Structure 1
Amino acid sequence: MTPPPGPFDPSHADEPELLDLLDNATRSESPLMLLDIASSMVASFDDSDLDDTDADGADPTEIPPIRELALQMLEATPKETEPLVRIWAQMLDDELFGRRIAKMLPTPSTKRLPEWIRRAEEIKPFRAAALISPVKIEETILLEISTAGRSVTLAVGVDRSGSPYLEDAYLADGPLSNIVEFSRTELELPVDEVTLSLADAGARLSEAFEMSTHMFPPIETESWPGTRPLLEWMLRKLPEGGTGYEIRTWEPEEIEELVADFRASPFAESLTEEEIGHAHLLFEFQCNYGNNDPLRWSGTFVERLMCDLYPRKVMSPADDLLLMPTALAALVRYANDRSGVDPVFTENALNAIDDNREEYTAQVRGDRPESTSALFARLLTGVDDDTLPLSEPVSDLGDEFGGGSFFGDQASMLAEIFIGSGAEAVGGIEALQALTDEPLPGEGLDTAGVADDVVDRLNSFVPEIRRIADEVFGEPELATSALRFLAEIGRGDPTVFRRRLADRTLLAALFWIVGKTNNLFSAQWSSEGDVTIGKLQRHLGVSSSPKPTAEKMLHAAGHELSDVEVILGDPRYLISRRRRRIIANRDTYWDDLPEDWEY
């Protein structure tokens, strides 16, 4: 797909850059580029600007509405802008404007323009299909657009959580069959292909588009709302009378039947009655807030359930709520096994339960996860008090906490914990003693020793790595950490980069690793960040948990995942903020180490 031009500044409508762009689009064999430009420019105007207005008396410095701009462009540069205006005459739902433009344009008999532009009135939807996730959480509606030349396909992403809504729309070159074939051979996760009548496609697209207009904040992607005028144009040309999304209403008795079947299944045999008691609500939440099918579970909905819906909507004692993840894991296995979906979706959902368990626990308890120091203070003293002065050596706290008290007697234990964990994070006691907090320098990707056949792919990641580090984590240093570890994987075992894994999947896994090793995810103990794994996934458009791919990457670089912790044991991967925390613990607890302690 040709990248959309992005937000268009109409004040530059007659500048050479735009005219060159239009010339290239007109000469292109594919209609994609010109349709993309035409739609993006219309989308750059506010809805209020799309109505005909009288320009008399208007401020000459104001940007004219799109129709007035079209007339001005034809007067100033008719040859260069005619192709664009011909598309606008069809795209804009304005018969008067179309007639006015027709009088200004030369007859379309000239061969100077490609035939598809001269016959722009014939542009229309031709056929449609949908690529649907087997767990029904998302789908992509494909609308092939025919012209008098080559066809293009408008791909519309729809999120089916609760009421389906449009989450993106972009143009792809070629017929619908090209994307279908790509989905069969290149996508990481399987999808179901469903042929749609044009009427049914129109009904689904209209519903999803309408719902998206009520989303706040408004949906913005690289291509949306740039493709909105094109979608609206095609919707007007689609036949009416189709069937949209069918949202089933599940009766309480039906859900109780599912609960009874789950209770009798081998998946629930190890659960207590209190844990099984969550099953009815879990099925109900999937029916009402998820994909409307209680027997198909995805990692995406599991994350939303644990990090938002369940702790916010269920009024129950904390001890009872904390039983839910165990019940959810068993229920996911039962439901996906009964519906027969690919096991990869079950694995993703179970990984999502593991990834979000700490965040869920924190929300149920009404606070963020406590710091490591506060945790150990509470465990050792039995005092649940955030005011314990752990910012100074335990042995210097005075009689209240030392001098024979339980806490004072255990000073050496705390020191062993913090000094030991710090040494583990940086690769040993000597490395801990020599540790500094100088910021990681900005670096490029060092491909020395990396297999030649993956170098180009790794280099293509560099701009996106810098952007993610800055935009998602607000930590430019993290780009250096990610680039260093990326190169380490390439030197160790580059097989993961030769597989047909999407770039966004690899990037999500890479930042899952360096984010965890730097304690940047909010669910980690002692984290100082507010980034969730779900936020990282949403930013990259990844629906499955990054953990399985991250484990492969860690193994390729010679590391193993310990439970859910990532310990690389090398300060080269630690940003300055993380190292400052380790240094502070080192300086605080060093004097409390027992004389015979060995790492």
Structure 2
Amino acid sequence: MSRRRHDRHPLGRGVARQRSNRHALHTSRHAPSPVEPAAENPLIRALRPALRSDDPSAFWVAAAPLVTELANLEHQAEVLPEGVDLLDTFLEINVAETTALLHMVAAMSPDEGLRSRAQVGLTARRQPMPPQVSGLAQASVAEAVAFSDGAGENLMVELVLPRGVRAVLISYIPWSPSPYVKDTFVVGESMAEVIRKYREIMAREGGSLDAVLEVVTTADARARFSQALANTSAEVEQSADWEQWPMLRPFVEFVVGRMPEGGTGYDENDLLSGPLGASLTTPERPPWILEDGTDLVQEFTVSEHAADLKPGKAVEDLAAYLMILLDASFGDPLGWDSELAEWILSEVLPTVPMLSKAAVAQIPAALPALVGWSLERKGEEPSVIAQTLSALTPLLEEFPARRADPHMRARRLEEQVDYALELEDSTALRLADLALRAGGFEVLAELDTTPLPTEELALALFPEELRGLAAEIDAHLVEGVTALLEQRPGSAESDELLTACRRLLVRVAQLDDAVLRRKASTRNTAAAVVSIIARGNDLMGYSPAPLHEKDLRRAFDLRSAPSQRARSLKEAAALPHRYTGRRKRAGPCGGSLVTS
């Protein structure tokens, strides 16, 4: 099986699945008026065939994106009347499709207020529902299995609902650079049937499912899913290859919640024994040392390919790291090809934290030399070597800019925490966490306790056409922060919070002003900015934080938390994710009051 297929599901094309008109769900973003005839409502038309399908998974797939949309206030304020949100429009339309949607919202919405309103709305509904809809509240997870391809695993769990309805949720979770959900789909069949089909497919390809199949406890499956979901950005761009992910995320989180807690997740020391584990400490035989004692790193550095490179530790460290990475991922420290090179240059090297600046500076010159030498040593044809090196050229030209990109910088700060965890060095972990919170090691080194000065919003740094919008957001900031801190007297704290919020808003405008151009309530945007800053500085959140989400909603007069808007703003501002506890990623923070 080729590497390109390592991250594909054999059943992704082999199992017939009824699918809804997902295009209608995403192009009809604005809710129609409640008085519009139900038959003409495009969202209801999209849900209707899925609700009537014999495939129990069809409605879940069709409705899951709407569960997220209902909690998203970004585009609703300018379309709906004041005080009305998208859920209100579906509560007003009493038809089978909206009743089924209310069941989905009541079971799996991330917003507690929406769940409660949907549950109340269902008390007035009388349409008969299929068991895969009405039985969501009674759903349970019966069993879990997994099988790996060397680079990741397919994790599968069976969902059981009333009246014999069964379905299997299948997620592909790569292990490097850390476990994350790359693709997910749901199959409306039993686990036994899905395993049977996988077994047949793999047998036709010359493999054996039974040789790699692992029975997983449901508690361990929950821990693995939770760990991978925490590493998966909610703003991940949907690939054209994946038909259900990431729109299916609310359903995945619902299924994970039906499994027991207390399990064990992935041991990243074991999964990444090459890059971040034993090979970086003192292994008996690192991957660049062959069984006969040959040192591949030394052999490369004295070869003609490396003749033009500056000799020294930087090149040796870079070559060793890349051999570790290839060996851990594919079992061959010299196994380069164009697809692998693209992955390493675009995803791994821009975010890797353990390489020194000197080693990173060697990448544009050393990588082509290493790849050419590796392929030549393996006996590849000159044409294959030339083709691979040719594919590297544009990637190497883009590499310095990609490494410097703020989003890559944020990921490096996150990876630095992971690296400290792998080393089990409490001092390194504390420093990495502080650097992540402050905005980088350079910022941390210059940090002092001087409060941020009082600053007005720097409107001149916004595009001219966004300055009016920015001023309106700023007015809500002033009003909301004052209301939020009214129980905490002292203008200094209020002024400092406002300055931090204003700096974050400027950062968003400078890095990705598209998020400000979207249709969204300016009050909601202001509340989201305050939420990011307050949570990032432990001013708001779980105890002992003095303020809580309900305080924010009250201060900004919101019916629900601005979590979706905050997530979009954090992504636009390239803020790293905050870690709490061992390998448990908490909500994104950043924009600290103590940053410059």
- What TM bracket, shorter-length normalisation? 0.3 to 0.5
Larger Rg: 1
Relative to the length of structure 2, the TM-score reads 0.46
